[in-house]
Amino acid sequence: MKFKYYLVFALLLLAHVIAGVVYSGYAWWWILVTILVLLAVLVQGCRNIQWNFFLKSVNRVPLSLQQLRAGTKPVALTFDDGPHENTLKVLDILKAEGVRATFFVIGKEIAGKEPILQRIKDEGHLLGNHTYAHNAAFYWQSAQLMAEDITKCNELIHAATGVSPDIFRPPFGVTNPNLAKALAKLGLQSVGWTLRSMDTIAKDPEALLNKILNSVRSNNIILLHDRCDITVAMLPELIARLREKGLSFGFPVVME
């Protein structure tokens, strides 16, 4: 992983700067500056899932050779943080439009909403794991505790649908070495995104729609949240306008 090469580079760079301070008269603050820069890069590696810094994530819709030859231009609609009462509205829209999507669900939200998960499965959508707890404390745990949290979510999904997801989306798109170990142990594929809609903070459906349409490209994985009213409101128009652009809809991973 990039993180391993980064560690080697960081240690060599720091050793070079320290040697410069000791033997060549560099100002001592160069050590502090170097450490701060290296920490800033590390933080960005944690925050930016597209960097694949600690683990390999799927951040674009994969295309087969046949699809490339046919000129297929897919995008993947992905919905995080369900199940939620709004998930039913999203499913109604997707069914009416004949679109399949991917739902990354939170384990603690499943109780009492098992029929929603069953409907997601029955209507041909893809289920993914979005942790059980979905909180910032998740990232301060050991790899073992992370794996237990993720497993708990998968067990609840399996109990509701008979399906055990093999894809996982990190909460907030954050990754670290312990998460990489946990996913490797569980055999789960991390899925990121290409286009983050920011629908959780958007206020105007039309502005949100235009933001997505102005940024979207073929093979993009679009991050949405089925719990958001604004997402439900603009989803039918989004699907229609994406089709006008010649885009089709698929999953963020290759299906067997």
Catalytic residue numbers read 80, 225
Q: What is the DSSP string of 108-119?
A: GG-TT-HHHHHH
The angle that helices 114-122 and 85-97 make with each other, rounded to 10 degrees, is 10
Token output for 79:
């919905």
- Could you tell me the two tokens for 95? 């069914």
Contacts of residue 149, defined as CB under 8 A and 6 or more positions apart, other chains included, come to: 107, 131, 132, 133, 138, 141
Query: HEC states along 34-85?
Result: HHHHHHHHHHHHHHCHHHCCCCCEECECCCCHHHHHHCCCEEEEEEEEECCH
Cβ-contact 121, 105 below 8 angstroms: no
Q: Distance (Å, rounded) from C-alpha 212 to C-alpha 198?
A: 10
Within 8 A by CB and 6+ apart from 146, the residues are 138, 178, 179, 181, 182
Measure the CA–CA gap between 208 and 211, rounded to whole angstroms.
5
- Token pair 């001592």 in the structure block, residue: 28
Q: What is the DSSP string of 130-189?
A: --SS-SGGGGGS-HHHHHHHHHHHHHHHHHHHS----EE--GGG---HHHHHHHHHHTPE
